[in-house]
Amino acid sequence: MSAATTTAEPARGEPAAWFKPLPASGPTTLAGEGVDDPPGEAESQLDTAWAAAPGRESDSRYLSRQMMRLSVPGQHTRQRIFRAFLRARIVLGAAIAITHVGIGAMGSWPDGTLVGLSLAYLALAVVTGLRFDARAATVDRPGGLRRRDWLSTVGVDLLCFSGLHLLAPSTGLNYAALLVQPVLMAGVLVPGRRALAIAAAATLVLLGSAWVSGTSGGDLSALMLQAGLLGSGLFVVSLIAGELATRLEREERTARGSLERARQETQLNRLVIDEMQDGVLVVDRAGWVRRANPAAGALLVPVGQGREPPFQLRGVAAWEALVAAIDEAHAGGDWPENGRDLPVVFEPGLTRTLRVRVRFTRRPEGRGGEDLCVLFLEDVRAVQARTRTEKLAAMGRVSAGIAHEIRNPLAAITQAGALLLEEASDPAQRRLLGMVADNAERLRRIVDDVLEAAPSDRTEAGAIDATAVVESACGEWLRTARLTPAELLVVQVDLPSAPMGVRFDPDHLRRVLVNLLDNALRHSTRRPGGVQVRLFPKGERDVALSVSNDGELIGPDVERFLFEPFFSTRSRGTGLGLYICRELCGRYGARIDYRARPDATGTRNEFQVLMRRAELPVQEVRLQLGS
């Protein structure tokens, strides 16, 4: 047995999200694919971790542009309005300054105080806009803008525009309309009483200016009436703006809640489909695979996990039957309810038969017919195995009962034969009694195997170190397998250097491994490295135990019966070895499967046990690492 080395199968990436965009050369697109995904990570009140997972960005394929804006962090209603307000202040300040410069260019320069005030306002607007771009203001809080924020924006606007309005009589310009901006923004961004206070301050400025103009020779009554009406309009603007902002914010919160629920449903659907043991493919008319769960990826290739979607089915010889079936399904629009069995020929002598069921997804009205079909793929071997399991369940219980009944008379026969053998002196009698003893022992082993293979409920076992159990079982098997020193090189064991916890009973794991080793050695060429044992992590939640040999490839007529009880290619075999392995694995939520491997790998027949990973006790890990 070779020294233990760290071996790990290439980890499969995170599951791809549904409906990934096609490459630029892809012949088809889906509704909404032209929309760019919003930057940043989406917030979630239910689960904030999943939004950052790979594949999350494609959730936006389901959303309109308006809904996508809701998913951008910080882009609340008040935040967007406030940013627009900051840009409007800069534009308005530039417009006022340009107006004054234009008047001066025509030969009538305004008062210097007026020009200085307009330039100062433009500078303040630019500085404030840059400052808030570098430090986003908190405007989505229940109280609206912070005090310092609204004073530096709305308050400055009110003061500057009030000054311009009070200085307006000397220039002949009317700046009263500018007071609408701070009042409007206060209604949106500032709590109600403060917004009304700003509207009241603007109204007082208008009344004060009208009073000054009236006492200077104007029509006081008309000017005061005009100022009062304008001030009333400012109050109305403030109230309506506040109401509209509150309603918009309420609707946005509702939309965000609906968006979160939709995303959670998408996440759950993705998790369920990715964990399905049946393969799922989403394929369009052009043969592009838009989505493939891990099970489908494994079924489409002879070994490994297959390609990441999107990828093209056409042009690959092994998938010609699938492509023809997809074209037929799209053309006919229907498919047998129970599916069809289609061959996937990877190479001569290496074929996998898949049962394919097809369902269609309908696009919105006016956007064409059924452009996408969903393929559900099952390995026919697994389908047949489930059917056989159901039929054998009752037989297994009956067999276990019969085995119990056989034990007592078998023990009596064995004991009587042993007593007769002690007293027998005739060589012929001793030979016959030896045959009785040998066959009684064979019957005992068959009875033990039948009882071991009897169906049982799933058993909850503690965490064990699979590395230590496999190493110990391999060493014990090598000592008892009656191999010559030269034949010891037949078996190569590749184990990780660190402990690896799994959910399994140690004695049952040894039984499974010994059965697989006996089977592998029996069918190998007995050349060095003809039997390989590997233990490696597979994904984040599983650990794989692989036992492979370099013997002749198992034919399809034998492969379909590998895990059936009482099926054996040997005359003296019970046919229960692999069946016992499957039953023991099922008790602990593990799976065992056979897979033919390409000739280039050296070992063409592989049996792989997929076990659930478990955390080992800290003390046990430290002891093992220390040893």
Q: Where are the domains of the chain?
A: 77-251, 384-453, 463-626
pLDDT of residue 545: 94
Query: pLDDT band at 292, cuts 50/70/90?
Result: confident
Query: pLDDT band at 495, cuts 50/70/90?
Result: very high
Average pLDDT over residues 106-112: 69
CA distance 255 to 261: 10
What secondary structure does DSSP assign to 280-313, as a single string?
EEEEETT-EEEEE-HHHHHHTSSSS--PPSSEE-
pLDDT of residue 142: 47
563 burial (CB, 10 Å; 0-12 / 13-18 / 19+) is buried
pTM, rounded to two decimals: 0.42
Q: Look at 207-211, 358-362, 399-403 and tell me which has the smallest mean pLDDT.
A: 399-403
What secondary structure does DSSP assign to 7-56, as a single string?
--PPPPPPPPPTTPPPPTT-S---TTTTSPPPSSPPP-SS-SSGGGSTTG
Q: What is the percent of the chain with per-residue pLDDT over 70, rounded to a whole number?
A: 73
Question: Highest mean pLDDT: which of 70-79, 212-221, 385-394, 427-436?
Answer: 427-436
Q: Look at 74-78, 130-134, 299-303 and tell me which has the smallest mean pLDDT.
A: 74-78
Strand partners, 463: 503
Between the two ends of the chain, the Cα-to-Cα distance in Å is 19
CA distance 326 to 161: 69
Residue 609 near residue 473 (C-beta atoms within 8 A)? no
Average pLDDT over residues 28-46: 36
CA distance 500 to 496: 8
Query: pLDDT band at 334, cuts 50/70/90?
Result: low
- Give the residue from 493, 505, 578, 504 showing the smallest Cα distance to 535: 493
pLDDT of residue 574: 63
CA distance 150 to 146: 6
- Strands 288-292 and 311-312, how do they pair? antiparallel
569-585 as b/e, with b when 16 or more CB fall inside 10 Å? eeeeebebbbbbbbbbb
- Check if 384-453 and 463-626 are the same fold: no
CA distance 372 to 364: 12
User: Which is higher by pLDDT, 304 or 593?
Assistant: 593
Q: Look at 196-205, 487-496, 571-580 and tell me which has the smallest mean pLDDT.
A: 571-580
User: Which is higher by pLDDT, 88 or 365?
Assistant: 88
Residue 53 has pLDDT above 60, yes or no: no
CA distance 499 to 20: 38
pLDDT of residue 391: 64
161 burial (CB, 10 Å; 0-12 / 13-18 / 19+) is buried
pLDDT in tens, 375-385: 888 888 777 77
Beta strands in 515-604 (DSSP E): 531-538, 542-549, 591-596
Mean pLDDT of the chain: 75
Question: Highest mean pLDDT: which of 136-145, 276-285, 471-480?
Answer: 471-480
Residue 8 has pLDDT above 70, yes or no: no
Q: Look at 295-309, 455-469, 578-592 and tell me which has the smallest mean pLDDT.
A: 455-469
- Give the residue from 544, 553, 530 showing the smallest Cα distance to 590: 544
Query: pLDDT band at 79, cuts 50/70/90?
Result: confident
Residue 25 has pLDDT above 50, yes or no: no
Residue 43 has pLDDT above 50, yes or no: no
Average pLDDT over residues 262-288: 81
What secondary structure does DSSP assign to 407-460, as a single string?
HHHHHHHHHHHHHHHHH--SHHHHHHHHHHHHHHHHHHHHHHHHHHHS------
Which position has the token pair 């590749």? 494
pLDDT of residue 278: 82
pLDDT of residue 29: 40
Q: Look at 229-233, 401-405, 543-547 and tell me which has the smallest mean pLDDT.
A: 401-405
Q: How many other CB atoms sit within 10 Å of the CB of residue 104?
A: 12
Assign a CATH topology to domain 384-453: Helix Hairpins (1.10.287)
Average pLDDT over residues 270-274: 78
Residue 316 near residue 289 (C-beta atoms within 8 A)? no
Residues whose CB is less than 8 angstroms from the CB of residue 181 and which lie 6 or more positions away in sequence, other chains included = 88, 89, 92, 157, 161
Assign a CATH topology to domain 463-626: Heat Shock Protein 90 (3.30.565)
